[in-house]
Structure 1
């Protein structure tokens, strides 16, 4: 099984869904973005078979997690939004790369 955006949204919603805490989710997102910035600045790359703790890998997941939690608060279907936004981006940036979905 592959990990889809839909699965991640459902997974996060099942364990952490508190729309009344939207501002807290946003504060956590900005905090995690700062931690990602530090990990990138210090080039904390995960080495094979090592812990993810404190690495760019970990901080990217934390940023994604809180972005998805915020999307869930607004009942945003991220898979649909990604498709819609990529259509706009393709026109805006004249990209030759086509966004395709798995069938």
Structure 2
């Protein structure tokens, strides 16, 4: 099953209904970023590996980062999907990319 950013945002808005603790969500986000750093350090051999499956640990922590990032947008009623597309379009122009995300998505739908 695939999910979209708007679907996740709607789910989290409902899930956290009435919980406007954006600072708490941000603190959880920072904690999860630290956990990704720890896994990456283990993968690079800079830290003793204490996890059996670093790929699973990494993807789990990345999912947590997405969760709290989208939750912050959701509880504030921000359209993360629109902003991602707009920001990517500006970056594509700034960095002279051959294709922006919106163009990529349209091409994917056609194929």
Q: Which TM-score band applies after superposition, normalised by the shorter structure? A: 0.7 to 0.9
Q: What's the TM-score once normalised by structure 2's chain length?
A: 0.77
* Structure 1 runs (4+) greater than 4 angstroms displaced: none
Which of 57, 62, 65 pairs up with 2:64?
62
Partner of 1:75: 77
Gaps of 5+ in 2: 44-53
RMSD between aligned residues: 1.5
Partner of 1:51: none
Distance in 1 (alpha carbons) for counterparts of 2:2 and 2:66: 17
Gaps of 5+ in 1: 47-54
In proportion to residue count, which structure has more helix? 2
Residues 9-45 of structure 1, C-alpha deviation per residue, up to 9 Å, x if partnerless? Answer: 01111212411x1111111100010011111111211
Pair 1:83–1:6, CA change in 2 (3 A) = same
User: After superposition, where does 1:75-94 map in structure 2 within 5 Å?
Assistant: 75-94=77-96
- Residue 74 of structure 1: how far off its partner (Å): 2.1
Partner of 2:16: 16
